[in-house]
A and B are shown apart, each in its own frame.
Chain A
């Protein structure tokens, strides 16, 4: 029986904006990361990322994670007004359901655990099985 679940949304990007053709362009992304973090009531963390398929294999990224409940509440409130539209819409949709399970403490029950598994699986199945893109009809309704 799970007593705690870990779920969050992570935003991760290279620390600096650079241009290969003009090496004088090297500007930190930190200020707008900080703005996002402040808006989501969280903070910016740094970590090293390793990508085998890139020439610059190891690079520093800054991350914003909604690991605190307060951050999640702000995030889901924002996403209810301005939803995602790509494949990540389905992640957002089911993560929101998991979030509601957590808020209602349902995740501590057997029924809640079954729902948790269902939402986690649906998150993957939906994307892999020609999902409905009906949510794109709302595209013109947001700013």
Chain B
């Protein structure tokens, strides 16, 4: 993830790890260049507007 919403993902993983006795790591913010993946397309699909 690249946004502050990673906080919600971390909460989910922490809860999941606790409940199911797993050890899924809490990864940090993704800092790879934007043009290397479809992440920006995803956010444009969700929040973009063509005018």
Assembled-state Cα–Cα distance A142/B7 (Å): 27
Q: Among A29, A39, A82, A91, which residue has its beta carbon within 8 angstroms of that of B50?
A: A91
* Chain A residues within 8 Å of B12, by CB: none
Residues of A contacting B2 with CB < 8 Å? Answer: 32, 35
Which secondary structure dominates where chain A touches chain B? mixed
Nearest A residue (CB) for B1 = A32
Q: Does B51 contact A (CB under 8 A)?
A: yes
> A78 contacts which chain B residues (CB < 8 A)?
34-35, 40-41
Interface set, chain B 27-51, CB cutoff 8 A to A: 33-38, 40-41, 43-45, 47-51
A77 to chain B, nearest CB (A): 8
Does B4 contact A17, Cβ atoms closer than 8 Å?
yes
Q: Across the interface, which residues of B come within 8 angstroms of A83, CB to CB?
A: 41
Q: Which residue of A lies closest to B46 (CB)?
A: A86
Contact B49 A10 (CB under 8 A): yes
Most A CB contacts (10 A, CB to CB) among B3, B33, B47, B48 go to: B48
Q: How many A-B Cβ pairs are below 8 Å?
A: 78
With A11-B44, A27-B7, A29-B3 in contact, is A82–B37 under 8 Å at CB?
yes
Identify 16 new A-B residue pairs, CB closer than 8 A, beyond the known A10-B51, A95-B50. Answer: A11-B47, A17-B4, A28-B4, A29-B4, A32-B2, A35-B2, A35-B34, A78-B34, A82-B37, A84-B41, A85-B41, A85-B45, A88-B48, A91-B50, A92-B50, A142-B38
17 contacts between A and B (CB under 8 A): A9-B44, A9-B48, A10-B48, A10-B51, A11-B49, A29-B4, A32-B3, A35-B34, A39-B33, A39-B35, A78-B34, A78-B35, A79-B44, A84-B45, A123-B50, A142-B38, A143-B37
Q: List chain B positions with a Cβ less than 8 A from chain A.
A: 2-5, 7-8, 33-38, 40-41, 43-45, 47-51
